[in-house]
Amino acid sequence: MGADTWSPDQYDRFRAERQQPFFDLLALVRAEPGMRAVDLGCGTGELTRELHRRLGARETTGIDSSAAMLERAAAHGGDGLTFQQADIADFRAHEAFDLVFSNAALHWLPDHEALLARLTAALRPHGQLAVQVPANHDHPSHTVAAALAADFGIPPRESPLLLPEAYAAVLDRLGYTQQHVRLQVYVHHLDSRADVVEWVKGTLLTDYERRLSPEAFRDFLSRYREQLLPLLEDTRPHFYAFKRILFWGRR
């Protein structure tokens, strides 16, 4: 994703809310003895450690492009768990893993049909693929940013996601004999509607920040807040519904 605009502290402001989808995805995985796993987009590594521990994996590799995130992840390494700085868009392997796992990362990458074929190639026979992707791109928190991008001369961020039934069809074509695909709505109660801005500052808006100068991004953020907040109900706590797609398959 180019320059590192990820802030572990900003991302962790809503730690509990962001962690629940990980555990829901992990619950779909079938643990087997001596597994070799890879976690694409491992972030600060805390959840990768949970993946490694709960599966009793022989070896787990966490991959992330952010040096800031991996600096935190280093403390969780050991006992077969390692971390590597790399762009997950460049991930390639051939029948190397029993599990390819990715929580809230693959939505940054295009062409999901080709992407899933590439990830499938990394699986050993009877291997498993488990993915969770945010699917809230039609919420005002995302559409306002996309509309505002034109005023700053940059392309809007467009979602590469497929519909849930399309993911099911892709998994079937790729030879997964078992699968589970669902769209899930997570309900969050934030202190106020202003916290929606803080939420996306840790995720979506990092992409706009990367493509703008610091001065331009400050202006972008100010105008974003001015345009978004009137579209959100002014309640305390603020009801924030966040959609995600979770899917699992076994070959």
pLDDT truncated to tens, each residue of the chain (251 aa)?
345 554 555 555 666 777 899 999 999 999 999 999 999 999 999 999 999 999 999 999 999 999 988 999 999 999 999 999 999 999 999 999 999 999 999 999 999 999 999 999 999 999 999 999 999 999 999 999 999 999 999 999 999 999 999 999 999 999 999 999 999 999 999 999 999 999 999 899 999 999 999 999 999 999 999 999 999 999 999 999 999 999 999 99
Closest CA to 102 of 60, 46, 40: 40
**Contacts made by residues 86-94, CB under 8 angstroms, sequence distance 24+:** 87/1, 88/40, 88/41, 88/63, 88/64, 91/38, 91/40, 91/63, 91/118, 91/119, 91/122, 92/118, 92/121, 92/122, 93/38, 93/121, 93/122, 94/121, 94/122
Give the domain ranges of the chain: 8-250
pTM listed for this prediction: 0.92
| CATH classification (class only), 8-250 | alpha beta
